[in-house]
């Protein structure tokens, strides 16, 4: 199912008033896609609300099964349940869905896309395209050039994920808990099982029977699918940290072929979507505060792992609401338009 070639397209954002939906809306305007008409959908609570796009007010509509006719591309960020119901309806109406939820990511009939890594997989979509998990996206952008040059055998990743990955209520909880603790007030965690302010929680999503969380399993399975290589071994520990925006990750990478730290820097410097930010002697290394509001993956602390023959350590940071969600979805839309 290919996008029809047009001068301008009708684009929709489903879940437009949520944190990621809002970001999608903003990124669409920033990147100046050829949008003839923008339609915004949300729940009944947001019906009638207006948002400004290209100096024009756009009214938020209620999502129903009958709205998709005439829409070329729909960016979904309304949760897995709504996506499972509405994405096939939209595809049947001739609309291509780019879905940000977990609903379709591991479906064998649905490509899981990071444009810098596997844009070729767009050729076999059947109307639904999945946007990967935020922590996976930034990792595979950094892994791809290394895998192409030296074949990655194994990745050990520890994430340091901001509360915006959970949503606005989590951001409010961090803000309120911080204020309460500084004012010697009692706190009552609601979004997370424990205090998040001044704390780290090694717990993202549900725990499975083997002791891993769903977030960790997502990183393992999604990496293999995106990279197109089931032989890459990935093990993950995902941690929620008291940062409002931007995810960081510590990566330990074992390759088949030996790469020096300088060779890795050279590879990544030429790769799309990456900024090598690596001069620790000058206190230059990736930070979530640096990555916030940006679309690139920042990579630094690149050094050889002296405990194995072919190993590299690095530290990466990216904006989880932008490259980790909204920007990646819009970049997929750009690729579809380019391929039309």
Set 95, 125, 147, 247: catalytic member: 247
With b for 16 or more beta-carbon neighbours within 10 A and e for fewer, the 123-134 pattern comes to: eebebbbbbbbb
Select from 164, 96, 102 the least CA-distant residue to 334.
96
What single-letter DSSP state applies at residue 305? -
Interatomic CA distance for residues 169 and 173, integer angstroms? 6
DSSP string, 166-223: T-HHHHHHHHHHHHHHHTT-----SSSSS--TT--BS--S-B-TTS-BHHHHHHHHHH
- What distance in Å separates the CA atoms of residue 53 and residue 270, rounded to the nearest whole number? 34
Q: What does the alpha-carbon distance between residue 117 and residue 11 come to, in Å, rounded to a whole number?
A: 24
Which stretches within 17-154 are classed as H helix? 19-30, 80-92, 134-150
Listed residue (44, 40, 70) closest to 53, CA to CA: 40
Residue 247 is among the residues annotated as catalytic for this protein: yes
Helix, strand, or coil (residue 252) = strand
Which of 95, 134, 200, 203 is the catalytic position?
134
Residue 255 host element (H or E): strand 247-255
Catalytic residues: 134, 247
């Amino acid at each position: 199912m290919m996008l029809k070639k047009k001068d301008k397209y009708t684009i929709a954002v489903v879940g437009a008033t949520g944190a990621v939906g809002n970001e999608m809306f903003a990124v669409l305007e920033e990147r100046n896609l050829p949008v003839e008409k923008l339609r915004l959908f949300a729940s009944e609570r947001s019906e009638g609300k207006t948002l400004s796009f290209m100096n024009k007010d756009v009214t938020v509509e209620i999502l129903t099964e009958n709205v998709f006719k005439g829409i070329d591309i729909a960016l979904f960020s309304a949760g897995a349940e709504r996506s499972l119901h509405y994405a096939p309806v939209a595809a049947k109406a001739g609309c291509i869905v780019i879905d940000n939820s977990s609903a379709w990511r591991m479906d064998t009939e649905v490509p899981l896309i990071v444009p810098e890594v596997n844009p070729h997989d767009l050729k076999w979509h059947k109307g639904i395209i999945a946007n990967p998990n935020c922590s996976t996206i930034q990792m595979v952008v950094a892994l791809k050039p290394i895998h192409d040059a030296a074949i990655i055998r194994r990745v050990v990743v520890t994430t340091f994920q901001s509360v915006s990955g959970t949503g606005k209520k989590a951001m409010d909880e961090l803000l309120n808990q911080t204020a309460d603790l500084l004012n010697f007030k009692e706190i009552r965690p609601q979004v997370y099982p424990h205090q998040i302010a001044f704390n780290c929680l090694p717990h993202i999503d549900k725990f499975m029977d083997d002791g891993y969380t769903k977030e960790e399993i997502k990183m393992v399975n999604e990496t293999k699918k995106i990279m197109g290589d089931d032989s890459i071994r990935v093990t993950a520990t995902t941690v929620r940290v008291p940062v409002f925006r931007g995810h960081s990750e510590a990566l330990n990478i074992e390759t088949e072929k030996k790469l020096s730290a300088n060779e890795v820097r050279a590879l990544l410097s030429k790769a799309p979507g990456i900024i090598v930010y690596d001069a620790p002697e000058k206190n230059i290394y990736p930070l979530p505060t640096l990555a916030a509001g940006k679309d690139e993956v920042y990579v630094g602390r690149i050094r050889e792992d002296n405990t194995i023959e072919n190993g590299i350590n690095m530290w990466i940071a990216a904006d989880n609401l932008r490259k980790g969600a909204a920007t990646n979805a819009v970049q997929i839309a750009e690729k579809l338009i380019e391929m039309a």
